Amino acid sequence: MTSESATSQPWHVPEPSPWPIVGTAAALATALGLVWFMHTGSPWLLGIGGILVLWTMIGWWRQVILEANDRTSHTSPVKVGLRIGMLLFIASEVMFFFAFFWAYFHSSLPILNIVAGPWPNEGVEAIGAAGIPLLNTLLLITSSLTVTIAHHAILENEREKVIFWTGITAVLGIIFLGVQIYEYHVLSFGLKDGVYPSTFYLATGFHGFHVFVGTIFLIICYFRARAGHFTPEAHIGYEAAAWYWHFVDVVWIFLYVNVYWWGASSFGHLVVE
């Protein structure tokens, strides 16, 4: 009876996997490497962490894809658990970005902190909302629309439509990253030029990293769609990618409004007497 109940239960118990511990080491190396790079300029630990993160993504996602395609591991209760897990992950990411927004407002609003001088700091001109930031906003809003079209195409079992619109979304993500890199290249201030540049680069830079991860996620979904992995009944991986991409888009809207628009407006230029 014990054996029969064990085989008939609806939960999926994965085989022992090395990826959780490898991923933990990769995240630690990347975080320490980033701090080291910002203080000393030495990139080798950051590079090792990045390689480990990439290796973890390849190995762990491959394992999850195999489980998703065996048509037995991802039962209804398992899918519910995966959705809840993705939502909790996104909630943790919200807290992550909240810290950057708090740092920005804590440093710029006298009601929260007494800033010794003008905001932005002297010698630094705040980046306005027009031009490159507006272009990137339009790119991400459009990509949110295209990934939604692709998601609905899965529900309607229109495979070619899924492939096309997923590919368009990934291309928009790549263009966004290219425009962001160009913006960094033409900016007149650097990370160490004051509080404003520090909060600006950290907030937009980490968002850019999340766009990079989301773009990889979508590229994988593109090839999975070409391979016929997604059906109206089984597409939990695509749901996770779409949710993550919408989250990235919402964070950018907050960045655009608060850092670019408000930060460069007369309201954002505050001086403490």
DSSP 261: I
Domain ranges of the chain: 1-73, 75-271
Given a cut of 50, is residue 31 above it in pLDDT? yes
Given a cut of 90, is residue 225 above it in pLDDT? yes
Q: Give yes or no on whether 1-73 and 75-271 have one common fold.
A: no
Q: What is the pLDDT of residue 113?
A: 54
Report the topology of domain 1-73. Helix Hairpins (1.10.287)
Q: How many angstroms separate the Cα of 233 from the Cα of each of 64, 75, 76, 215, 236?
A: 17, 11, 10, 24, 9
Q: What is the pLDDT of residue 74?
A: 78
- Over pLDDT 70: what percentage of the chain? 90
Per-residue pLDDT, averaged over 26-38, amounts to 92
What is the pTM assigned to this prediction? 0.81
For residue 239, count CB atoms less than 10 angstroms from its CB and return exposed for 0-12, middle for 13-18, buried for 19 or more. Answer: middle
pLDDT digits (tens, 9 = 90+) for 184-201: 888 878 777 777 888 888
CATH number belonging to domain 75-271: 1.20.120.80
Given a cut of 50, is residue 47 above it in pLDDT? yes
Angstrom distance (rounded) from CA 52 to CA 68: 24
For residue 172, count CB atoms less than 10 angstroms from its CB and return exposed for 0-12, middle for 13-18, buried for 19 or more. Answer: buried
- Over pLDDT 90: what percentage of the chain? 45
